Chains A and B, each alone.
Chain A
Amino acid sequence: DAGVIQSPRHEVTEMGQEVTLRCKPISGHDYLFWYRQTMMRGLELLIYFNNNVPIDDSGMPEDRFSAKMPNASFSTLKIQPSEPRDSAVYFCASSGTVGNQPQHFGDGTRLSIL
């Protein structure tokens, strides 16, 4: 079975540019999560969706960040405009409904803002 698929794997761009990260969750999973990992702050939950609806976006750093899930098989995390402090690894994860199901992570997108 295909796991969580993220693209791109690496992104290098200049500050001020718009960045779009993409995620395809595991088929049948109805929860989708976006995380950010940095050395300073560790793994932080940014936002999560249930059945394509945003449930908790309290971890989104600021208005420059936005996330959408237009359908059950696709989600985007957008940063506009990007800043050097946004440099991090961004993970997407998905899980099923039953409470003890683990979150399965994608391979992450390593984002560098110059």
Chain B
Amino acid sequence: AQKITQTQPGMFVQEKEAVTLDCTYDTSDPSYGLFWYKQPSSGEMIFLIYQGSYDQQNATEGRYSLNFQKARKSANLVISASQLGDSAMYFCAMREGGADGNEKLTFGTGTRLTIIP
């Protein structure tokens, strides 16, 4: 089974609207972390937001927030008030295990977001 599933290959959203990018994950480890990265057309990978499995509150970073539903094993990224510069590929990733040295990240296949003016 895929560890990280991003079911939306592409999305088109009107500028200034909010957008939700879906991510579901699969792990039996009680300790894990979830990350979102943005990859613009220029190619670099930019870290956006992190959610730990034991975090009580949903993570927020500026216009980015993470809708973390642990029972459903979902960690959707919400971008509020979308801007043209948000057009990019977005990747969800998971790190399993606690602070025991397992630092491997598993990435999803990504969602290409296009913001329409």
Whether B105 lies near A99 (C-beta < 8 A) is: no
Size of chain B's interface in residues, with CB distance under 8 A? 23
A102 touches B (CB below 8 Å): yes
Whether A48 lies near B104 (C-beta < 8 A) is: yes
Residues of chain B whose beta carbon lies under 8 Å from any beta carbon of chain A = 33, 35, 37, 43-47, 50, 52, 91, 95, 98-99, 101, 103-110
Can you report 9 A-B residue pairs in the complex whose CB atoms are below 8 A from each other?
Answer: A42-B110, A45-B105, A50-B103, A91-B45, A93-B45, A99-B95, A100-B52, A105-B37, A108-B45
A68 touches B (CB below 8 Å): no
Residues of chain A whose beta carbon lies under 8 Å from any beta carbon of chain B = 31, 33, 42-43, 45, 48, 50, 55-56, 89, 91, 93, 95, 98-100, 102-108, 110
Whether B33 lies near A99 (C-beta < 8 A) is: yes
For B103, what are the chain A residues with a Cβ–Cβ distance below 8 Å?
31, 33, 48, 50, 55, 95, 103
